[in-house]
């Protein structure tokens, strides 16, 4: 882990044209760390070989995700602040999906030496604003800074189960209510709009066209670029007795199929609960809502609404997704097969 | 966090020409996860949104580092197994430098879709073999798989302080013995040899020439490509009363300067303890030995040998490094300034 131990905690530089190559690693870190939020669980923060974080109940939840310029984001569409926000939000959502409260992040960033320092400052601000908005008390306890050709963010997030059992994907039982907290389909629709209309005549991502989309379709574009997952819903669902839960990252149908397969059941969605665009609701990825199952008759916690029911399935039909009782083709995307606008 | 929940735990494919693009993400993960070691501290492993890891004393140590093809490694020099080994070793070393016992890793890998699956299998084998050799019981509890142009490994490592206080950089006191466990200068010499002789006539890294170097200079090249940091020395030093400690990643002089600056002292090396090539011992990076300070008269634990003494320093001289009492220019490298063979 690299540290800012050698650098002043605030630096005198203000020029926006300064690049990473102009400064030492210590000086860059000295510009970034003061912008990052301190974690309430931090026992030892940046400045040594490693950080030390509190784990009050003797366990910690951990998840990691990498975002890379090109496959995962385009700088013509996302601001640095957007990138920091999304990198935090998607990881916090995985922690929340276990029923845990997010406590801390570590963040590794690789960037070309020609990157303006203000880009890293913007990423830091996005990380901070996301933590403060969605998981107050969660902060950045350490990180790493490297050189690369493509801007890359690797975030690892931690959470506290507060003495509870983790909510797994495998606990859904026939008769359980299937409920969801968050948006459905907006992020996928936003990405489809960006790919179709946020590009120039040659299909290259274009800043002006993306900005026009942000005005014409603010909900969908924001859902894609700066998602606001319902982080607080995770621990609330656990306290309310959720039997299974996950973060909906690859689309409702695919992710419901994961709960159903892990639990050896089927899931039947009620079409009336899926809005006007059923295929968009079922197929759109990157919404980062929480899909959970609750025992029959449970009072759903605030933020969750019922979408259907867990049904019994024979071993060969475990994982089957139906809508009003009719089988649904799950479709979806794969990171090595690219985005499929039609299916996902 | 992506999971192998959808994939069979062992897959029938054996062709070495298969690439990531030929398989679904789930199938790739199904090929990798069975090769990875299970952590003794794992309470919940791969297959859900996040893992759950034991933290018996209510705290955990965490560090993160990213390795990127190009700036950090070349595929003509390092095998996939080497990359997995080094990614684990360098992170385990940061955990050990706190006086902690490594417990678990999470590993995010990004690779071009054209990457043969055997490359990822080799990385997994390297991660496993390094954990088994250097930190038995430590394993991989989760990960992420993404697409990228450059092969990228982001490892986050965890450790257990077993009830002890972490050993910081800031605890060295005048009169303390400065001691080191591990190699000094070999990794830097190995990199210098690779840059000078492991390339073709155009300066491009070359497999055959690197292989020749592995035969002619096995110690130095192995120290660079597959370091064996003294992980067990970390907790042993803590138990022996180490007052300060760090992982020597940027060269002995620079890293000693970090302890000295954090502690408000100076460090004087005894030239007779630094071997025949003093500048190589002081300046070579990436050795990943442990540099620690112990109270005067302490019996040094196995593996450590004395290199010098902590000396008092005025505020303006804190961090000063001397050799036999004479000031030493620290030199060294910076990730955004490239490798400087002369200084580091």
Tens place of pLDDT per residue across chain A (344 aa): 655 444 444 444 455 689 999 998 889 988 999 999 999 999 999 999 999 999 999 999 999 999 999 999 999 999 999 999 999 999 999 999 999 999 999 999 999 999 999 999 999 999 999 999 999 999 999 999 999 999 999 999 999 999 999 999 999 999 999 999 999 999 999 999 999 999 999 999 999 999 999 999 999 999 999 999 999 999 999 999 999 999 999 999 999 999 999 999 999 999 999 998 999 999 989 999 999 999 999 999 999 999 999 999 998 999 999 999 999 876 544 444 433 322 22
Cβ contact B172:B263 at 8 Å: yes
Q: Tokens 């975030």 belong to which residue?
A: A155
Token pair, residue B212, equals 């020749």
Alpha-carbon distance of A60 to A158, in angstroms, equals: 6
CB contact under 8 A, A336 and B143: no
Nearest Cα of chain A lies from the Cα of B217 at a distance, in angstroms, of 28
Nearest Cα of chain A lies from the Cα of B116 at a distance, in angstroms, of 13
Alpha-carbon distance of A84 to B168, in angstroms, equals: 29
User: Which residue of B lies nearest to A63 if distances are taken between CA atoms?
Assistant: B50
Nearest Cα of chain A lies from the Cα of B18 at a distance, in angstroms, of 13
Of A28, A50, A147, the CB nearest to B95: A50
Cβ contact A226:A320 at 8 Å: no
Higher-confidence residue: B295 or A27? B295
Alpha-carbon distance of B287 to B227, in angstroms, equals: 7
The torsion region of residue A271 among left (phi > 0), alpha (psi -120 to 50) and beta comes to alpha
Answer whether residue B5 shows pLDDT above 60: no
Domain edges within chain B:
20-160, 177-182+229-327
Q: What is the ipTM of this complex?
A: 0.91
Of A59, A66, A143, the CB nearest to B54: A59
Tell me which CATH code domain B20-160 carries. Answer: 3.30.1330.10
Q: How far is CA A297 from CA A177, A293, A294, A300, in A?
A: 8, 11, 8, 9
- Nearest Cα neighbor of B2 from B79, B108, B155 is B108
Answer whether residue B342 shows pLDDT above 60: no
Q: Provide the 8-state DSSP code for B205.
A: B
Under 8 Å CB pairs connecting chains A and B tally to 249
Q: Is A250 annotated as a binding residue?
A: yes
Distance of CA A163 to the CA centre of its chain: 24
User: β-strand A139-147 against A101-111: which pairing, if any?
Assistant: parallel
The reported pLDDT for the residue numbered B235 is 98
The reported pLDDT for the residue numbered B1 is 64
Where residue B3 falls among pLDDT bands split at 50, 70, 90?
low
Cβ contact B1:B50 at 8 Å: yes
| Predicted confidence (pLDDT) per residue in B19-62, tens digit | 999 998 889 988 999 999 999 999 999 999 999 999 999 999 99
Q: Which residue, among A36, A60, A258, would best test binding to B if mutated, counting the most B CBs under 10 Å from its CB?
A: A60
CB contact under 8 A, A156 and B64: yes
Phi, psi of B27 (to 5 degrees): -70, -40
Residues B291-301 have a mean pLDDT of: 96
The torsion region of residue B51 among left (phi > 0), alpha (psi -120 to 50) and beta comes to beta
Give every CB contact of residue A98 below 8 A, 6+ residues apart in sequence: A61, A159, A161, A166, A167, A168, A234, A245, B48, B49, B50, B52
Alpha-carbon distance of A40 to A44, in angstroms, equals: 11
| Predicted confidence (pLDDT) per residue in A77-93, tens digit | 999 999 999 999 999 99
User: Which residue of A lies nearest to B245 if distances are taken between CA atoms?
Assistant: A49
Of B66, B144, B161, the CB nearest to A146: B66
Nearest Cα of chain A lies from the Cα of B299 at a distance, in angstroms, of 25
CB contact under 8 A, B63 and A23: no
CATH fold, domain A177-182+229-327, is Phosphoribosyl-aminoimidazole Synthetase; Chain A, domain 2 (3.90.650)
Chain A residues whose CB is inside 8 A of the B50 CB are: 61-63, 94-95, 97-98, 100, 157, 159, 166
Token pair, residue B28, equals 């790739």
| Predicted confidence (pLDDT) per residue in B175-215, tens digit | 999 999 999 999 999 999 999 999 999 999 999 999 999 99
Answer whether residue B331 shows pLDDT above 80: no
CB contact under 8 A, A55 and B50: no
Chain B residues whose CB is inside 8 A of the A334 CB are: 24-25
| Predicted confidence (pLDDT) per residue in A18-52, tens digit | 999 999 888 998 899 999 999 999 999 999 999 99
The reported pLDDT for the residue numbered B329 is 75
User: Which residue of B lies nearest to A248 if distances are taken between CA atoms?
Assistant: B49
Of B55, B58, B71, the CB nearest to A146: B71
Q: In whole numbers, what is the pLDDT of chain A averaged over residues? A: 91
Q: Tokens 């020749």 belong to which residue?
A: B212
Q: DSSP characters for B212-281?
A: HHHHHSHHHHHHHHS----TTHHHHHHHTT-SEEEEE-S-HHHHHHHHHHHHTEEEEE-GGGS-S-HHHH
Fold match between domain A20-160 and domain A177-182+229-327: no
CB contact under 8 A, A97 and B50: yes
The reported pLDDT for the residue numbered A217 is 97
Chain A residues whose CB is inside 8 A of the B150 CB are: 148-150
Of B65, B149, B336, the CB nearest to A149: B149
- Number of residues that make up chain B: 344
Of A62, A262, A334, the CB nearest to B25: A334
């Amino acid at each position: 882990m690299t540290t800012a131990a050698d650098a002043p905690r605030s630096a005198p530089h203000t020029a926006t044209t300064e690049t990473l190559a102009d400064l030492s690693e210590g000086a860059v870190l000295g510009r970034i760390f003061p912008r990052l939020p301190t974690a309430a669980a931090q026992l030892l923060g940046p400045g040594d070989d490693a950080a030390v974080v509190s784990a009050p109940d003797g366990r910690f939840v951990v998840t990691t995700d990498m975002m890379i310029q090109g496959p995962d984001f385009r700088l013509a569409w996302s601001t640095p602040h957007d990138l920091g926000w999304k990198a935090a939000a998607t990881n916090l959502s995985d922690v929340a999906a276990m029923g845990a409260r997010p406590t801390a992040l570590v963040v590794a960033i690789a960037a070309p030496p020609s990157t303006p320092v203000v880009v890293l400052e913007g990423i830091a601000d996005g990380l901070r604003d996301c933590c403060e908005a969605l998981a107050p008390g969660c902060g950045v306890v350490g990180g790493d800074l490297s050189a690369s050709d493509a801007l890359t963010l690797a975030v690892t997030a931690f959470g506290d189960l507060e003495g509870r059992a983790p909510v797994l994907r495998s606990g859904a039982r026939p008769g359980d209510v299937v409920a969801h907290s968050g948006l459905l389909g907006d992020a996928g629709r936003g990405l489809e709009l960006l790919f179709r209309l946020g590009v120039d005549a040659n299909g290259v991502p274009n800043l002006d066209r993306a900005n026009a989309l942000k005005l014409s379709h603010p909900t969908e574009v924001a859902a894609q670029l700066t998602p606001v997952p319902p982080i607080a819903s995770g621990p609330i669902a656990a306290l309310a007795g959720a039997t299974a839960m996950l973060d909906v990252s690859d689309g409702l149908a695919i992710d419901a199929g994961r709960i159903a397969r892990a639990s050896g059941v089927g899931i039947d969605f009620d079409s009336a609960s899926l809005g006007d665009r059923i295929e968009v609701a079922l197929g759109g990825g990157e919404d980062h809502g929480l899909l959970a199952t609750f025992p029959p008759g449970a009072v759903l916690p605030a933020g969750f609404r019922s979408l259907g029911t867990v049904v019994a399935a024979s071993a060969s039909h475990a994982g089957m997704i139906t809508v009003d009782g009719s089988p649904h083709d799950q479709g979806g995307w794969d990171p090595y097969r690219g985005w499929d606008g039609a299916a996902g």
